[in-house]
Amino acid sequence: MGRGVKLMAMALLCFIFASNLAHSEEVYEWNFKPAKNNEPPTTEPHYLELLDRHDGYYIGDTDKKNLYLTFDSGYENGCTDIILDVLKEKNVPAAFFVTGYYFERQEALIKRMDDEGHIVGNHSWNHPSLPELKDEDVVTELAKVNDAFESLTGKEMDYLRPPQGTFNDRSMDIAKDEGYQHIFWSFAYVDWNPNTQKGKSYAYERILDRVHPGAVLLLHSVSRDNAEALADVIDDLEADGYQFQSLDHLTGKSFFPID
């Protein structure tokens, strides 16, 4: 074997080793530590380091009673129009993180979200665990959603909610290179199974029990409980001095509240 061939073989082995090393990086699942008495939660120190490095967010200013309402929208269950009706009536902004399902089957809902001033964010095309994909597959998952949104609205997406809540330094780095900011959350409850809904009062109590200044609330748009409770949640939180803001307010893209 000639020297040139040996060098090429060594380079190939190094590439394979580096690739395997990258894909063996630990996969994290987002979590936070809830607090009592409507105090803000905390999360893992190394998660905070990753958020800082990649310009991500999970919570706003905890000294101000701003709230950021976000919905994960993996598929449609007949509740999204109800949610949008409430948001329009109450003049409240929200963000909807959508998958490819919506562009294949529910384009009218995407258009309505955008037309009514809500942020539409990227939740990937197929909802895979991004850190478990190859680099090029992460790019493809995000690009397919953004391209479909741009084709429909003429706009590009700025925010990413990682599917399954999984992430690591590599997946966050790729997303940042693609122009995204990660948006995690500081409030969530078990609301994503449409077969185990517990009623409007249950959703209302869960939300008001753990809401806190600066909260990024994660709700699922498949939940009928959320849809039915939303109007009362908004009314009572606003009566308590909270203001609902856009994610652009959270990230500093806009410094003014929605009128």
pLDDT per residue of the chain (259 residues) written in tens, 0 to 9: 454 444 444 444 444 434 444 445 899 999 999 999 999 999 999 999 999 999 999 999 999 999 999 999 999 999 999 999 999 999 999 999 999 999 999 999 999 999 999 999 999 999 999 999 999 999 999 999 999 999 999 999 999 999 999 999 999 999 999 999 999 999 999 999 999 999 999 999 999 999 999 999 999 999 999 999 999 999 999 999 999 999 999 999 975 444 4
Contact 74, 127 (CB under 8 A): yes
Residue 209 counted as domain residue: yes
Structure tokens at 84: 């949008």
- Check if 72 is active-site: yes
* CATH number for 164: 3.20.20.370
Residue 259 counted as domain residue: no
Structure tokens at 138: 């992460």
The DSSP bridge partners found for residue 87 are none
Structure tokens at 71: 């919905």
Residue 83 counted as domain residue: yes
* Threshold 0.85, pTM exceeds: yes
CA distance 2 to 169: 39
Among the listed residues 72, 191, 225, 248, the single catalytic one is: 72
CA distance 28 to 33: 15
Residue 29 counted as domain residue: no
Residue 11 counted as domain residue: no
Sign for the pseudo-dihedral over CA of 130, 160, 52, 176: positive
Contact 197, 229 (CB under 8 A): no
Range of the domain at 143: 39-251
* Angle at 31 (CA atoms; ends 27, 36), nearest 5 degrees: 165
Residue 17 counted as domain residue: no
CA distance 19 to 66: 42
- Check if 220 is active-site: yes
CB count within 10 Å of CB 74 equals 19
Residue 2 counted as domain residue: no
SS3 call for 32: coil
Q: Which of 252, 256, 253, 198 is nearest to 229 (CA)?
A: 198
Residue 190 counted as domain residue: yes
Structure tokens at 229: 């409770």
Among the listed residues 118, 212, 220, 249, the single catalytic one is: 220
Count of structural domains, the chain: 1
Q: Which residues contact 144 (CB under 8 A, 6 or more apart)?
A: 100, 125
